[in-house]
């Protein structure tokens, strides 16, 4: 397998943390996966990517910047390609969804996953929290992961082809979903001290897609 390129959308938000964790995860995977991690700001950079991570931040601002920089349509084409692994976290989850509740009228979506996402389901930034969650049903051994929710969205509706990966026990909020090789999480794995989710994305989405 040749060297792959995994892009992190760098228009706005916590993209640097994703870049660092992805590079760390690749180093720990040793020779299983050869990949370059790049920050993506232009359509030309996006064209070089085999997979894409869309970070947390502010989903409306992200979509407006994408539109202003002529990135919206290239992004939409990329993420809607069933062959491309894509992961959206927090604001990125909203961006790759097909419907948004409590969004602005000028907010654009990429329609990569058949999900409705409700913005700011946890309230204000002061109401943000870290919750220890058990993800061992899809990431073996990951029984206690510190999931950081910052003005986080939740998935309020899913289409028939969407798999629910995780719900919060107290509220029933859906916080992780999968559709084909598209992954969405409402929390910020890049703000934890563990790169387990980044390894999961690389192994189960990127590596599986390009090793077949």
Please identify every residue annotated as catalytic: 90, 188, 190
DSSP bridge pairs for 129: 149
172 is in an annotated binding site: no
Residue 124 marked in a binding site:
no
DSSP for 102-120 reads: S--TT------SSEEEETT
Rounded Cα distance between 123 and 51, Å, is: 31
* Radius of gyration of the chain from its Cα atoms, rounded to whole angstroms: 16
Q: Half-sphere exposure of residue 162, counting CA atoms within 13 Å on the CB side?
A: 21
**How far is residue 79's CA from residue 90's CA, in Å, rounded to a whole number?**
16
User: DSSP states of 141-156 as a string?
Assistant: T---EEEEESS--EEE
The pair of structure tokens assigned to 9 is 């959308």
Q: How far apart are the first and last CA of the chain?
A: 10
Annotated binding-site residue? 76: no
Q: Would the CA dihedral through 159, 152, 61, 5 be positive or negative?
A: negative
Question: Is 186 annotated as a binding-site member?
Answer: no
166 annotated as ligand-binding: no
150 is in an annotated binding site: yes
Which residues make up each annotated binding site?
57-59, 119, 150-151
Binding-site residue set for L-glutamine: 57-59, 119, 150-151
């Amino acid at each position: 397998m040749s060297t792959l390129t995994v892009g992190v959308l760098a228009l706005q938000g916590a993209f640097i943390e994703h870049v660092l964790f992805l590079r760390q995860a690749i180093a720990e995977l040793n020779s299983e996966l050869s990949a370059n991690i790049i920050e993506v700001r232009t359509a030309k950079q996006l064209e070089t990517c085999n997979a894409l991570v869309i970070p947390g931040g502010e989903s409306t601002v992200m979509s407006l910047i994408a539109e202003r920089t002529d990135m919206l349509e290239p992004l939409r084409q990329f993420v809607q390609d069933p062959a491309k692994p894509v992961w959206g976290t927090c604001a990125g989850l909203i961006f790759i969804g097909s419907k948004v509740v409590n969004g602005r009228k000028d907010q654009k979506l990429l329609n990569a996953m058949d999900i409705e996402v409700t913005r700011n389901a946890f309230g204000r930034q002061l109401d943000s929290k870290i919750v220890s969650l058990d993800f061992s049903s899809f990431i073996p051994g990951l029984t206690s992961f510190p999931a950081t929710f910052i003005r986080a969205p939740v998935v309020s509706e899913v289409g028939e082809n969407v798999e629910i990966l995780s719900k919060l026990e107290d509220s029933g909020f859906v916080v992780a979903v999968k559709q084909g090789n598209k992954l969405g999480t409402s929390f910020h794995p890049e703000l934890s001290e563990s790169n387990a989710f980044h390894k999961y994305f690389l192994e189960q989405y990127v590596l599986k897609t390009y090793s077949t």
